[in-house]
Amino acid sequence: MSLIQRLGEKAKENPAKIVFPEGTDHRILHAARQLVDNKIAEVILIGDKEALEQAARNSGVSLAGLELIDSHTSDHLENYSEQYVLNRSRTKVPVAKRLLKKPLNFGAMMVKAGDADLVVAGVNHPTRKVIEAAGVCIGLATPQGVPSSFFIMSFEDKDPLIFADCAVNVNPTAAELANIAIDTGLNAERLFGEPAKIALLSFSTKGHTNHQDAEKVIEALNIARNKNSHLSFDGQLQADTALSASIASAKLADIGEVAGQANVLIFPTLDAGNIGYKLVSLLAGATAIGPILQGFSRPVADLSRGAIVEEIVATTIIALALR
């Protein structure tokens, strides 16, 4: 049984409520239908009712069993607006109402209010917009936290890996990189059901190069270890040293718990992470599931604007496992 199948079966034990703010997109409609028909989750679609019904007809999708909510006319709009301004003294309720009429913000506020368990968006919005909505409506898990993302890289003939951060932070500081490593490691353990072995990647291994980029990774490693002694971290490691036991043995006198057997790869910059996951997808035939956003107080799933139905379903199932 694949990871997605296993997590999908687990989700059926306690079906959650998922809100899709981009309810008129044909891919979202088909994904929502699959999730409901397979009893994985309850689904809420946000949009004008007539537009949703027309989109469903055009897509050949039944809306039976799906909840439809118009953010412009919802009975929740007043209450959500009042909740929104509680910690924003400079924002007035009429302004909050205008903001929350936008489906993306309304969907995030549904999760904040506890009326939905997960918001999934991104097929019609850039990641930046999804993060903005989550940031202002849901909020970060901790005041010092940093929003980030990860992909699950699924292979046909080997165990999956987790790559982070491949979609959000362009050039994280050492402290931010440490937070990303910790958040990703904790999520990896929840998803895999086994210890996370977290490699902080660099262009050099274990101090072989004195350069500020490598030093940032070493500093991030020390911060991560000091903040979380439960997780297993190592760095700075080149990718081959992180993944190949034979290469790790050749390069390192003391391999430790991570080198040669990492299942979580933390990239030092967005350049490296984004290029890395796309190369692995195209050249190694891996399926990239995500990005899953992390660092927020409640679950949020981002979607590629090129996502197909199967990817939307898989990303949703992964995010459900983290709620």
Task: For residue 211, tell me if it sits in a domain.
Answer: yes
- Give the residues across from 44 on adjacent strands: 19, 67
Model's pTM, two decimal places?
0.87
Q: Are residues 119 and 159 in the same domain?
A: no
Task: For residue 46, tell me if it sits in a domain.
Answer: yes
pLDDT, tens digit, 9 for 90 and up, residues 225-240? 999 989 999 989 999 9
Task: For residue 288, tell me if it sits in a domain.
Answer: no
Q: Are residues 156 and 91 in the same domain?
A: no
Residue 131 has pLDDT above 80, yes or no: yes
CB-count exposure of residue 235 (10 Å: 0-12, 13-18, 19+): buried
pLDDT, tens digit, 9 for 90 and up, residues 78-115? 999 988 888 776 788 888 899 999 999 999 999 999 99
Q: Give the single-character DSSP code of 292.
A: E
**pLDDT for 94:** 86
Task: Please answer whether residues 88 and 82 qualify as being in contact, where contact means their C-beta atoms are separated by less than 8 angstroms.
Answer: no
pLDDT, tens digit, 9 for 90 and up, residues 52-82? 999 999 999 999 999 999 999 999 999 999 8
CATH number at residue 234: 3.40.50.10750
The total of structural domains in the chain comes to 2
Give the domain extent around 22. Answer: 3-139+296-320
Q: Are residues 90 and 124 in the same domain?
A: yes
**pLDDT for 264:** 98
Task: For residue 290, tell me if it sits in a domain.
Answer: no
What mean pLDDT do residues 287-301 have?
A: 89
**pLDDT for 89:** 65
